[in-house]
Amino acid sequence: MRIRGRLTVKKHISIIGVPMDLGQSRRGVDMGPSAIRYAGVVERLEDLDYEIYDCGDIEIGRRETQEEAGGEKLKHLKAVSEANEKLASSVDEVIEKGSFPLVFGGDHSIAIGTLAGVSKHYHNLGVIWYDAHGDLNTADTSPSGNIHGMPLAVSLGIGHPALTNILDYSPKVKPENIVIIGARSLDEGERVLIREKGIKVYTMHEIDRLGMTKVMEEAIEYLKERTDGVHLSLDLDGLDPSDAPGVGTPVLGGISYRESHLAMEILEESKIITSAEFVEVNPILDHGNKTAGVAVALMGSLFGEKLL
């Protein structure tokens, strides 16, 4: 069955865990997939009549020395690129089998592999980047050298070949097919790239001014016109730290828990989402697994959970 030209595959969901903590500096986010599972995600989705297959976790390599990794500009480059190659192949395989890929992170560098595995199945993949950050840095613009701040640039074909050429093709997504939602912390190089590429961004100013309903409706209408599938990449730091404290790079003044539920509900009603990932859950920085619980609750709304 197709809806608006999109293959509806969500009745079969394949979970892929990516215990990656090499794309950033704060340890603990590698336990994110386990925390999300512990918060009851499988049971929650099964209650919504989905068939769930848990593919387990991608194997992640060791942390590298600066010399091995090539210095401070691209930390742990080899291990990050190798893990994303494995992830891309797994996502590709899941889609080939007709299942919906649902990826758990792990830091946001895993989006490099997710998008590589997804995009080869679409002519014009759309991306909703639900995040406090743009993740549009490069080795030259990044203040930290952490690759979790680069995955969207990499997916545009901008960056080190070991990252941009995963699965031997580049770019994975076009700038006009991206919508960033919730941005409130952008580096200067990211601002320049956003302006140069004409990337559509809804900052917290637009969310406050227009309201989440209007923002999501506009984003959906914008992507429906130009894409044949839409990937949701949801970083838990897109939410305000009061609602999602267990993240490595919290930024005050974020999207509320209720606004995020509304966003997921509107996406579910639109039927445009064809793959998804939830990233940056860090149990070490969390309070009683609250952030993993929030991630699971948002997945409930994304996959059709209703009060009545």
Binding site per annotation, positions for Mn(2+):
108, 131, 133, 135, 235, 237
Task: State phi, psi for 172 to the nearest 5 degrees.
Answer: -95, -25
Cis amide leading into 157 (omega within 30): no
**Of residues 135, 190, 265, 277, which has the active-site annotation?**
135
**Of residues 57, 82, 133, 261, which has the active-site annotation?**
133
The answer to whether residue 108 is catalytic is yes
- Name the packing angle between helices 257-270 and 212-224 (round to 10°): 30
State whether residue 57 is helix, strand or coil. Answer: strand
The answer to whether residue 235 is catalytic is yes
Return binding residues.
Answer: 108, 131, 133, 135, 235, 237
What is the distance between the alpha carbons of residues 41 and 297, in angstroms, rounded to a whole number?
A: 8
**Of residues 76, 108, 160, 231, which has the active-site annotation?**
108
């901008």: which residue's tokens?
A: 158
CB of 240 within 8 A of CB of 256? yes
The answer to whether residue 237 is catalytic is yes
| Numbers of helices and strands, H then E, in the chain | 12, 10
CB of 94 within 8 A of CB of 165? no
The answer to whether residue 107 is catalytic is no
The answer to whether residue 148 is catalytic is yes
DSSP conformation class of 185: B
The answer to whether residue 168 is catalytic is no
Give me the amino acid identity at 106: G
Strands, DSSP E only, in 66-124? 100-105
Cis amide leading into 171 (omega within 30): yes
**Of residues 21, 107, 190, 237, which has the active-site annotation?**
237
**Of residues 131, 228, 265, 286, which has the active-site annotation?**
131
Q: What is the Cα 114 distance to its own chain's centre?
A: 8
What is the distance between the alpha carbons of residues 43 and 36, in angstroms, rounded to a whole number?
A: 11
**Of residues 235, 268, 277, 286, which has the active-site annotation?**
235
Q: 3-state DSSP helix/strand/coil percent for the chain, to nearest 5?
A: 45, 20, 40
The answer to whether residue 261 is catalytic is no
**Of residues 76, 148, 231, 261, which has the active-site annotation?**
148
Please give the positions annotated as active site: 108, 131, 133, 135, 148, 235, 237, 280
